[in-house]
Amino acid sequence: MIYVFFGADSLSIREKVDALRQAVGSADLRDANTLALDGVQVKPDELLAAAMAVPFLSDRRLVLVKGLLARFEGKRGKSPVGWKGIGEQLAAVPPTNDVVFVDGALGGKANPLLKELSGVAQVTGYPVPKGGEMHRWIRTRVERKGGAVSDQAVARLASAAGADLLALDNELEKLTVYVGARPIEPGDVDLMVSQGKEANIFAAVDAALNGRTAAALTQIRRVLDDGQSVSYVLYMLHRQVRLLILAKELQRQAVTGPDLGSRLGVRGYPLQKTMEQAPRFSAERLSAAHRLLTETDERIKTGQARGEVALDLLLADLGALGR
């Protein structure tokens, strides 16, 4: 059977691949009948040779091809050189063999190799769930682990969740063990989830720059109550505003995809939240916010103002920009 699994939900893809791996046969022969090919380098004849080879002392054989489809992104319908007709050739794969193409998020039907494979493969996309789907995903994963979670904690987890569902699932595992028999509550999320404090920073920036000073103060108090210093909060606020300024410029230059994350120097949840926030604020407002942050940092370092007082005044000034 030929499979194509692609999308940003790497956790679901991994679980699908693991299920196929378990079906290969007995553990002592599994390695001998499982072959992983680097899609960045593999050639058509190498792929076909691996796909056609018969299992060794087993009923099943598994060939994993990682990252091949990404090589043909942006080709806009052009036939991939050397790969034309690969779908028809793979149709002759022995019924004992599973060939699995694994990739991250793709542009969809515009990918010419995906078109080649779609006629013979079972193609499944795995996007990261959003909105209500993310809420259901979180609740289902917790229940699978034998735990329970309150609606408020689900909402808190969903707001802090990025594209890395594998990391989120690990956090759910830790939370389930931590709370034991009782349901997971919002306080547990703030205490245990590593992205919780960073989520408060994003929320504080968003609230402050939109003129919601009270909400910004609430988010910052959460970070301070968790034991972080004023200097840490100021650094994170300053860092996020700088990222937003740079993100807007990169968007203006039409930089997208992996280049965007590498140019910003962030990935996963911070990258997602930065790109969500950037269109909401003008370059002028971000520049003014950057100036206020620099002035506040200077006042604290020179002893002109105490840390928390300066931070409260800063949030008020940032809120005035939004209003």
Which of 22, 59, 295, 8 is closest to 162 using CA atoms?
8
Structure tokens at 171: 């956090």
The stretches of 58-195 forming alpha helices (DSSP H) are 86-90, 112-118, 132-144, 151-160, 165-179, 186-192
Provide the phi-psi class of 146: left if phi over 0, else alpha when psi is between -120 and 50, else beta: left
H or E element that contains 55: none
CATH of domain 132-192: 1.10.8
Per-residue pLDDT of the chain (323 residues; tens, 9 = 90+): 999 999 888 899 999 999 999 999 788 888 899 999 999 889 999 999 999 999 998 899 999 999 999 888 776 555 567 888 899 999 999 999 999 999 988 875 678 889 889 889 999 999 889 889 999 999 999 999 999 999 999 988 887 666 678 878 988 998 998 898 899 998 888 777 655 566 667 777 778 777 788 888 887 887 777 667 888 788 888 888 888 999 888 888 887 777 777 788 777 667 777 888 888 888 888 999 899 999 998 888 888 888 888 888 888 888 887 66
Torsions phi, psi for 177 (to 5 deg): -65, -40
Please name the residues in contact with 151: beta carbons below 8 A apart, sequence gap of 6 or more: none
Which of 46, 58, 165 is closest to 99 using CA atoms?
46
Which of 203, 217, 199, 206 is closest to 321 using CA atoms?
206
User: Which superfamily does CATH assign the domain made up of 2-125 to?
Assistant: P-loop containing nucleotide triphosphate hydrolases (3.40.50.300)
Alpha-carbon Rg for the chain, nearest whole angstrom, is: 25
Q: Is 196-322 assigned to CATH 3.30.110.40?
A: no
Question: Tell me, what's the pLDDT at 133?
Answer: 93
Q: Which contacts of 267-272 are long-range, i.e. CB under 8 A and separated by 24 or more positions?
A: 268/162, 268/163, 268/164, 268/167, 269/160, 269/161, 269/162, 269/163, 269/164, 269/195, 269/198, 269/199, 270/162, 270/198, 270/202, 270/243, 271/162, 272/162, 272/163
Question: Tell me, what's the pLDDT at 80?
Answer: 65
Q: Could you give the CA distance from residue 143 to residue 137 in angstroms, rounded to a whole number? A: 10
Q: What is the layout of strands, in order, in the sheet containing 61-66?
A: 34-38, 61-66, 97-103, 2-6, 122-125
Q: Could you give the CA distance from residue 71 to residue 258 in angstroms, rounded to a whole number? A: 13
Q: Kindly list the domain boundaries of the chain, sorted by start residue.
A: 2-125, 132-192, 196-322
- CB distance 186 to 152 below 8 Å: yes
> The pTM is what?
0.59
DSSP string covering 84-112, please?
TTHHHHHTT--TTEEEEEEES----TT-H
H or E element that contains 5: strand 2-6
Which of 44, 128, 133, 40 is closest to 84 using CA atoms?
44
The count of C-alpha atoms lying within 13 angstroms of the C-alpha of 199, restricted to the half-sphere facing its C-beta, is 17
Hey, how many other C-beta atoms are within 10 angstroms of the C-beta on 218?
Answer: 14
